[in-house]
Copies of this chain bind each other. A is one copy, B any other.
Amino acid sequence: MIIPIPTVKRFPSYLRILNQAKENGKEYISATMLAKELNLNPIQVRKDISSTGIEGKPKIGFDVDTLIARITHVLGWDNNTDALIVGAGNLGSAIANYGGFSNYGLRIAAVFDKDEKKIGTRIGEFAVLPIDKINQYVQENGVRIAVITVPAGQAQAVADLLVKCGIRGIWNFAPKDIKVPSSVVVQRTDLATSFAVLSVKLRKKTEDDVDVYIGEGEV
């Protein structure tokens, strides 16, 4: 089964609409309806769904429960995965308290920081742990995912430590590219990237003396 990354990126939105439909008591949903809700092309939606191996019934659509279960499984979100957060600043706290990640099979298990003033303080349900306990924690709890929310200058050192402890997947929010061995997966979320796109589009739309035109491409 080949699932392109852009399809993977659309799956969380599909899940959102499917769960809404389920709450509203709907048993079936059409690709057209999914497409309409998400401003997508129905052909794209059909292609995305067929990549999971699910087939719809002509004129009825897709079984909502089956599609939820299948997409959740493809994403690996049907097993709760523990993750730890390194960096107990504002962003780390926001992520620790977010709550919504349980929908993605992600459970924040612990929050670490190296700042002695933060250690022992509480972030929601978590007492901040000292970073030199990470290795022990990872070994004892078998955690394999970590979220990095430290400042840019500390990101690589934290990543090196996490890799040494056996972390296999890193979600990096620090504004810095990190280098890891090829056995480790890194996904970077950069707020600046998103804001850059908004800025340029806004400039294009609102300035008279605009000299920037946005070409076609991924949005």
Give chain A's interface residues, CB within 8 Å of chain B.
Answer: 1-6, 8-9, 11-13, 16, 37-39, 74-77, 81, 90-91, 93-94, 97-98, 100-101, 103-106, 144-145, 152, 168-169, 171, 175-177, 183, 185, 187, 189-203, 205-207, 211-219
Say yes or no: B193 contacts A4, CB within 8 Å: no
Inter-chain CA distance A198–B37, complex, in Å, is 25
Contact A8 B197 (CB under 8 A): yes
Distance, CA A218 to CA B187, complexed state (A): 13
From B12, B195, B206, give the contact of A106 (CB < 8 A).
B195
Extra contacts besides A6-B218, A76-B199, A185-B202 (11): CB < 8 Å: A2-B213, A4-B216, A4-B217, A5-B197, A9-B193, A12-B175, A90-B97, A91-B94, A101-B191, A168-B205, A189-B194
- A211 touching B1 in the complex, CB below 8 Å, given contacts A75-B196, A106-B195, A195-B106: yes
On chain B, the residues within 8 Å of A77 by CB distance are 199
Q: Select one of B177, B191, B200 contacting A76, CB under 8 A.
A: B200
Q: List 26 A-B contacts (CB under 8 A).
A: A1-B212, A2-B213, A2-B214, A2-B215, A3-B212, A3-B213, A5-B215, A5-B218, A8-B196, A8-B197, A8-B200, A8-B214, A11-B196, A12-B193, A16-B152, A39-B177, A74-B200, A76-B203, A81-B199, A94-B94, A100-B191, A101-B191, A104-B192, A104-B199, A171-B195, A185-B202
Least distance between A78 CB and chain B CB atoms (Å): 11
Residue of B nearest to A96 (CB): B90
Taking A104-B195, A192-B104 as contacts, is the C-beta distance between A185 and B201 under 8 angstroms?
yes
Q: Which residues of B contact A105 (CB under 8 A)?
A: 199
Among A1, A5, A106, the most chain B Cβ lie within 10 Å of the Cβ of A5
The 7 closest A-B pairs by CB, nearest first: A94-B94, A187-B198, A12-B192, A169-B202, A4-B215, A76-B203, A90-B94
